[in-house]
């Protein structure tokens, strides 16, 4: 049977390690500046002294992380709403598998909502590409994050994926911890939220039964995150454009760090989290499929369906869909004032991006339009079957 120390390389810290770690990072210049950003009115000396005295992960989160999230919500979110919490069963552990739009906030706001509803927080998957400084590694591991390594050679990647899969299964089945995991590697940058089959294959690597039972054991609940203003839309489109004109383009680590910071600071408007129906209530539909590739494909469709049907659209989504797809299908879903507001936003974003005007405009529109397209796709499919 596995134990927590089998995963020392990637796992979050545990309570017995907290004192050592907080003392290690407390006076790191980068960490001090990070804390000062959120609490400019408080004495940094007093704050750090209090941080040094925390003795558990829960204390660390209550003292530092949750107040930070509260400030982000108050400063950059108009309304944070949620639905579907009745789908979460007390005492049961899940993989909360969501669409992925913001590096930090997707998981941070999920944790906030879970705590509001008296559910335990999750362990959080975070890409190693974001962990460019030692104090950042310590900070995220103190906050319950485990590390998903990126850009490994093929042989090392497989070995690592097995270990990652074992950790996730261990956390859920032995520690009774829940997990936040994005449906894909990296943020969706074009609005087309698609569950990557590679993620599902990774989860299956550690199972000792057939695919059906292995995925059932980790208890996936799809979560749909809807932002009124797409986080870091400008930088996402700039990255897509750069890759289009230069296939060898790669972001720097500094760009990822900047995206993390901007995602927390820029306005998000209205934000909604929808907890879908746990996949275990539907997964029996794939049990008798013989072809392994088809099984994964059908599982992906189950997750995508739950994510797509629970989008909460703003007028921006409907306006973008009408412009991008050249229709007036959704014109009753927005006003002239909404339309003008979106065009003002769109033009402001376009001028920040270095690239061809029309190409950049289409990329921005697609971010907002494709969720509507995916929603209509599953709605029309359901109607055709009825």
Query: Quick check: 69 and 108 in contact, CB under 8 A?
Result: yes
**pLDDT, position 152:** 87
**pLDDT, position 386:** 57
**pLDDT, position 344:** 98
**pTM for this structure?**
0.95
DSSP 3-state percent helix, strand, coil across the chain (nearest 5)? 60, 10, 30
- List strand residue ranges (DSSP E) for the chain, in order: 77-83, 95-98, 122-127, 145-148, 178-182, 220-227, 269-275
Spell out, as residue ranges, where the chain has pLDDT lower than 70. Answer: 383-386
Distance of CA 216 to the CA centre of its chain: 22
- List strand residue ranges (DSSP E) for 345-384, in order: none
**pLDDT, position 256:** 76
Report how far apart, in Å, the C-alpha atoms of 145 and of each of 11, 18, 170, 338, 381 are: 7, 14, 15, 39, 38
**pLDDT, position 218:** 96
Phi, psi of 8 (to 5 degrees): -55, -30
**pLDDT, position 63:** 93
Domains and their CATH numbers in the chain: 4-13+78-312 (3.40.1130), 317-385 (no CATH)
DSSP, res 117: T
- Say how many CA atoms lie within 13 Å of 64 toward its Cβ: 28
Strand partners, 275: 223
């Amino acid at each position: 049977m596995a134990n927590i120390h089998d995963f020392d390389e990637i796992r979050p810290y545990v309570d017995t390690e907290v004192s050592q770690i907080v003392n290690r990072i407390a006076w790191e210049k980068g960490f001090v500046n990070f804390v000062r950003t959120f609490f400019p009115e408080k004495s940094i000396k007093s704050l750090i002294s209090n941080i040094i005295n925390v003795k558990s992960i829960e204390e660390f989160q209550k003292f530092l992380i949750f107040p930070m999230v509260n400030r982000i919500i108050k400063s950059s979110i108009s309304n944070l709403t949620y639905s579907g919490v009745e789908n979460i069963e007390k005492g049961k552990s899940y993989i909360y598998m969501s669409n992925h739009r913001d590096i930090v906030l997707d998981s941070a706001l999920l944790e906030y909502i879970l705590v509001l509803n008296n559910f335990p927080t999750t362990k959080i998957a975070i890409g190693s590409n974001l962990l460019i400084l030692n104090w950042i590694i310590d900070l995220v591991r103190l906050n319950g994050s485990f590390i998903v390594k990126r850009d490994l050679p093929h042989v090392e990647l497989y070995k690592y994926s097995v270990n990652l899969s074992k950790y996730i299964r261990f956390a859920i089945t032995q520690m009774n911890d829940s997990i936040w995991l994005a449906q894909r590697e990296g943020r969706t940058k074009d609005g087309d939220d698609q569950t990557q089959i590679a993620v599902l294959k990774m989860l299956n690597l550690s199972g000792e039964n057939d695919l059906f039972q292995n995925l059932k054991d980790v208890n996936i609940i799809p979560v749909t995150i809807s932002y009124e203003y797409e986080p870091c839309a400008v930088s996402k489109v700039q990255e897509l454009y750069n890759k289009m004109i230069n296939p060898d383009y790669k972001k720097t680590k500094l760009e990822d760090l900047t995206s993390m910071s901007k995602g927390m600071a820029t306005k998000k408007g209205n934000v909604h989290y929808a907890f879908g129906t746990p996949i275990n209530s539907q997964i029996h539909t794939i049990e008798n499929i013989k072809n392994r590739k088809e099984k994964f494909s059908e599982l992906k469709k189950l997750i995508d369906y739950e994510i797509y049907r629970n989008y909460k659209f703003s007028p921006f989504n409907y306006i973008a869909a009408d412009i991008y797809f050249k229709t007036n299908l959704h014109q009753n879903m927005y006003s002239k004032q909404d339309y003008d507001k979106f065009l003002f936003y769109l033009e402001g974003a376009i001028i920040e991006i270095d690239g061809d005007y029309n190409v950049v405009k289409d990329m921005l529109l697609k971010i907002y339009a494709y969720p509507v397209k995916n929603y209509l796709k599953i709605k029309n499919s359901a109607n055709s079957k009825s």
